[in-house]
Amino acid sequence: MDQIIVQGNGALHGEIPIAGAKNACLALMPATLLSDEPLTLTNAPRLSDIRTMTELLQSLGAEITTMQDGQVLTLSSHDLNNLTADYDIVRKMRASNLVLGPLLARAGQAIVSLPGGCAIGSRPMDLHISGLEALGAEIELKDGYLHAKAPKGLKGAVIDQRFASVGATENIVMAATLAKGTTVLKNAAREPEIVDLVKCLRAMGAQIDGEGTETITIQGVDRLHGATHPVVVDRIELGTYMIAPAIAGGEVELLGGRIELIEAFCEKLDAAGVSVEQTNRGIKVARKNGRIRAVDVKTEVFPGFPTDLQAQMMALMCTAEGTSVLEETIFENRFMHAPELMRMGAKMDVHGGHVTVTGVEKLKGAPVMATDLRASVSLILAGLAAEGETVVSRVYHLDRGYEHVVRKLRGVGALIERVKEGGANG
280 known member of a binding site: no
Phi, psi dihedral angles at 332 (to 5 degrees):
-85, -5
230 known member of a binding site: no
Residue pair 16/39 in contact by the 8 Å Cβ criterion: no
22 known member of a binding site: yes
Of 118, 200, 266, 318, the active-site residue reads 118
Q: How many CB atoms lie within 10 A of CB 174?
A: 29
- Compute CA distances 118 → 122, 374, 384, whole Å: 10, 9, 24
Q: In angstroms, rounded to a whole number, what is the distance separating the alpha carbons of residues 250 and 241?
A: 12
- Compute CA distances 240 → 139, 376, 378, whole Å: 39, 11, 8
Q: Give first-to-last CA distance, the chain, whole Å.
A: 10
Q: In angstroms, rounded to a whole number, what is the distance separating the alpha carbons of residues 336 and 341?
A: 9
416 known member of a binding site: no
Phi, psi dihedral angles at 98 (to 5 degrees):
-75, 0
125 known member of a binding site: yes
56 known member of a binding site: no
127 known member of a binding site: yes
SS3 for 40? strand
Residue pair 207/198 in contact by the 8 Å Cβ criterion: no
Strand partners, 324: 357
| Max intra-chain CA distance, the chain | 65
Q: In angstroms, rounded to a whole number, what is the distance separating the alpha carbons of residues 138 and 146?
A: 10
Q: In angstroms, rounded to a whole number, what is the distance separating the alpha carbons of residues 224 and 426?
A: 44
Phi, psi dihedral angles at 220 (to 5 degrees):
-60, 145
DSSP 167-233: HHHHHHHHHHTTSBSEEEEES----HHHHHHHHHHHHTT-EEE-TTSSEEEEE--S----EEEEPPB
Give yes or no: 118 in active site.
yes
330 known member of a binding site: yes
Sorted by sequence, the CB contacts under 8 Å of residue 211 that are 6+ apart come out as: 194, 195, 197, 198, 199
79 known member of a binding site: no
120 known member of a binding site: no
- Which are the catalytic amino acids? 118
Task: Enumerate the known binding-site residues.
Answer: 22-23, 94, 123-127, 308, 330
Binding residues for UDP-N-acetyl-alpha-D-glucosamine are: 94, 123-127, 308, 330
Task: Please give the annotated binding residues for phosphoenolpyruvate, written as ranges.
Answer: 22-23
